[in-house]
Amino acid sequence: MLEGRSCLISRSLPSSCEQESKWVYMTYHLLEITSNKRPITVELGEQDEDGTAKRPRNPKNPDIPNLEETGLPVDQSDSQGGDCPYPNSDSLINQIGRDNSINCLARCNRVDYGALACLNRGFHSVIRGDELYRLRRQMGIIEHWVYFSCNVREWEAYDPNSGRWMTLPKMPDNECFMCSDKESLAVGTELLVFGKGIRSHIVLKYSILSNSWSTGIEMNSPRSLFGSASLGEKAIVAGGTDFYGNILNSAELYDSEKQTWMTLPNMNKPRKMCSGIFMDGKFYVLGGMVSSTELLTCGEEYDLEKGTWKVIPNMSSGLNGARGAPPLVAVVNNELYAAGYAEKEVKKYDKQNKSWVTLGRLPERPDSMNGWGIAFRACGERLIVIGGPRVYGGGMIELNSWIPKEGPIEWNMIASKHSGSFVYNCAVMGC
């Protein structure tokens, strides 16, 4: 579609449906009519010298990027429109009305929202609001981006569909928080990072709507070293330790739309350094430690409808390292996979026999330190391994991808860049 032309719409649409393609095609041409100018554009496939996709440029000054690398809107709310050259109109696509305009936007790739937001205040307001993402969820349009941190205050994101890297604003400077153990969780349109301050736990929240960090909502029972997973706009955290190091068996559910935490029934066993996943509509917590020396091999299943926990023996047998790194697990199409970092193997959980089956090898280059320093995540229908070889004074971070299917594992390195090679935190946001 629109082959060989500059456009705001990526080749990889959320759906290949002919009707949806027509919506996006209509959006592109009507945006030109509405703005009476050509939108800010990026040549498809055009890259900088380091191999990353070029950012949209300011038409007034091609040497100045108009948008942040996140692909999200910069604040253009001042009366003159800031650097944005488009009208301060509150309208969308007048020819088809507001509802149809938003339906068009919902079908556009998220990486293009930053450029679309610069058309006028109306587009800017819609793209920075929750309405668009609620509609995308209702329509079943989900794009998965990987967010990870290889430096203490810095986060990067990668969109596998467009191949673009995005740099987030630096986290607020808090020396105690930066030196503490941190957990991360992507839920809805938020990235949450949990850590400790001098006297209490701290939650920092990055919103893709505002492209900024702020203070997040604290849990009812603040904790660290917990297991967690998200499903749409909701997430569950389980276990961990309180501020004084006591190991917890409590769990909580977070609703990112309501900005609330709800206490759930307690697990059967307390555990820290555990992992969490959603599978078949249920939440599972795997592995962890019940003391500083005792590893757990059982898992627990939480039924959201019944509100009950059930112990599953040997669910994480052999997945914990000697020093208690959380099991590296991920779910693709309701199938559970694990990275056996000691043997550098990929395993799959046999639900029927409740056992693990070895499928093949992990990528060779990413190194871990007893399970720390690499990330193993599900990103849509892909399994992603993020890490790099350990080298002095920096290194290269690599993203390896495999789409689970019949036959041997074949890893494909989809991206790499110069960075720290030790992954401190990683989360995948689907919205």
Per-residue tokens: 397: 């971070």
CB 230 within 8 A of CB 187: yes
Angle between the N-to-C axes of helices 97-106 and 131-139, in degrees from 0 to 180, rounded to the nearest 10: 70
pLDDT of 429: 97
Instruction: Please determine, for residue 256, whether its predicted confidence score (pLDDT) is greater than 60.
Output: yes
Measuring CA to CA, how many Å separate 24 from each of 1, 101, 107, 124, 266? 10, 10, 7, 18, 47
140 CB neighbour count, 10 Å cutoff: 8
Alpha carbons 335 and 80: distance in angstroms, whole number: 52
Instruction: Please determine, for residue 226, whether its predicted confidence score (pLDDT) is greater than 50.
Output: yes
Closest CA to 194 of 140, 259, 241: 241
Closest CA to 257 of 134, 411, 396: 134
Give pLDDT tens digits for 392-419: 666 789 999 999 987 889 999 999 988 8
292: which DSSP letter?
Answer: S
CB 135 within 8 A of CB 103: yes
pLDDT of 177: 84
- Residue 152 — very low, low, confident or very high, per pLDDT cuts 50/70/90? confident
pLDDT greater at residue 167 or residue 16: 167
Give pLDDT tens digits for 337-349: 999 888 889 999 9
Residue appearing with tokens 């090898």: 361
Task: Give all domains of the chain, ordered by start, each with its CATH number.
Answer: 18-139 (no CATH), 144-430 (2.120.10.80)
What phi-psi label fits residue 249: left (phi over 0), alpha (psi between -120 and 50 degrees) or beta? Answer: alpha
Closest CA to 286 of 312, 252, 321, 253: 312
